[in-house]
Amino acid sequence: MTAVSVLLCFFFACTGHKSPPQRQPSSDVHLRHQLFQSTLSIVDSPQLDSDDCGNNEQKKIRFRSRVAYSGTPYSGFQLQPHRTTIQGEIEDALYRRYNRRIAVVGAGRTDAGVHARGQAIHFDLLQDEVPFSSTIIVHNATASERSSCDDFCNELQYSMNRMLPLEIRLFRLQLAPYEMSTKRIWHATQSSSSKWYSYRFTLGPTLLNPLERFVRTHIVHRPSFAPTSSCGQPYALTTDDITRLKSILEVYVGTHDFKAFGGQLEQNEKRSGKKMNTIRTIHTVELVKESFEFDSTGSSELNCFIGEEGNYRIDFLIEGALYKMVRNMVGTAIQVWLGNMQQTQLVELLQTDDSGDVEKSRKDNPCKPAPPEGLTLECVYYNDLF
């Protein structure tokens, strides 16, 4: 251990600084990183995502799975060189089992510190890696074939979870279906219809439960519209305050241009050479009061940590999100609620300029994104109710 490492450990031990443990890449990760640049293109290659299941030359069978993870010790979902990610950990587990790199495609690319309860992924295995024929996808399977497929999926899910870190769990691993409506095999990203994100936070001057410090954000700032107290008592939230926040969040509902809420748009456009479509549809935005448990006597004092009466959650049902879009939406709404920004400014940021004379950018939005720990990808929805 270097002298700098010793000093840092001494600093965190003495100050009690909140520093969540960062998972270090394994030896397999280092091996994969050496081949990162040359193999990353495999994820979106036509060969890997070939969807013609009726082709006799098709030798890959697609599987899909739900994924739940705590994003605290990870640098996001997407594979990154020399960083520990959710996708990287899943691919490492597949590599250890099949001794080759198997690309994993996720429905959403959550950023560092963001969690997921119902993320969706898919990956392709070769014909000789499964105990049944690829024709089971497009033809009626016999009872024996279906039983063999189910047993294999259950065993693979169990094996993967044994190899994955405790912060990541696969569930509902199954054969990906062939979609008759699109004549394509199921795809984690392209087949999704909508996504449900939630953002959890504690409002007001109450304490944040330390057990939730990595899954909830504490908003402790005093609203500018709050009346001053001559006796120095902390400001207590009122029904009008919550009603005001709900009205601000409702501004997002509908189809708008979210260019002022996306992250790294200019960098991505320069890298790809294509202009990104920043029009997104928000189906529902709901502010939910999260209740706490009462004991057998009807009192909450024994089971409720002080401050949990200020726990809230914002639910977003959207078709798709730009990078950091949801966090920027929450951060901007909170700043409007605190009185640091006018609601009319928020409306202007969402307006689409049909003339093209005024080009919006993230710089037009002065608000910072909400912290990542409060955000969770709750579910990715599909037409087949997967």
Instruction: Give the global pTM.
Output: 0.81
By annotation, the residues acting in catalysis are 111
Q: Model confidence at 39, in pLDDT bands (50, 70, 90)?
A: very low
Q: What is the pLDDT of residue 101?
A: 95
What are the tens digits of pLDDT across the range 250-302? 999 999 989 889 877 666 666 666 777 888 999 999 999 987 655 555 554 44
Token pair of 210 as six digits: 């330390």
The chain-wide mean pLDDT, for the chain, equals 80
Q: What is the pLDDT of residue 306?
A: 60
Q: Model confidence at 221, in pLDDT bands (50, 70, 90)?
A: low
Token pair of 217 as six digits: 């954000």
Q: What is the pLDDT of residue 52?
A: 43
Q: Which of 189, 71, 50, 45 is nearest to 121 (CA)?
A: 189
Strand stretches in the chain, DSSP E: 60-69, 105-106, 115-126, 168-175, 178-179, 184-185, 192-203, 217-219, 254-257, 279-289, 311-318, 375-382
The length of the chain in residues reads: 386
Q: What is the pLDDT of residue 296?
A: 52
Q: Is the pLDDT of residue 231 over 80?
A: no
What are the φ and ψ backbone dihedral angles of 354, each rounded to 5 degrees?
Answer: -65, -30
Q: What is the pLDDT of residue 132?
A: 83
DSSP annotation of 5: H
The whole-angstrom separation of Cα 240 and Cα 216 is 23
Token pair of 78 as six digits: 């997407």
* N- to C-terminal Cα separation, the chain: 48
Classify residue 112 by burial, with Cβ atoms within 10 Å: 0-12, 13-18, 19+.
middle
Q: Is the pLDDT of residue 48 over 50?
A: no
The whole-angstrom separation of Cα 277 and Cα 286 is 25
Q: What is the pLDDT of residue 185?
A: 92
Q: Which of 66, 156, 153 is nearest to 117 (CA)?
A: 66
The whole-angstrom separation of Cα 84 and Cα 377 is 19
The whole-angstrom separation of Cα 90 and Cα 85 is 9
Q: What average pLDDT score do residues 189-198 get?
A: 95
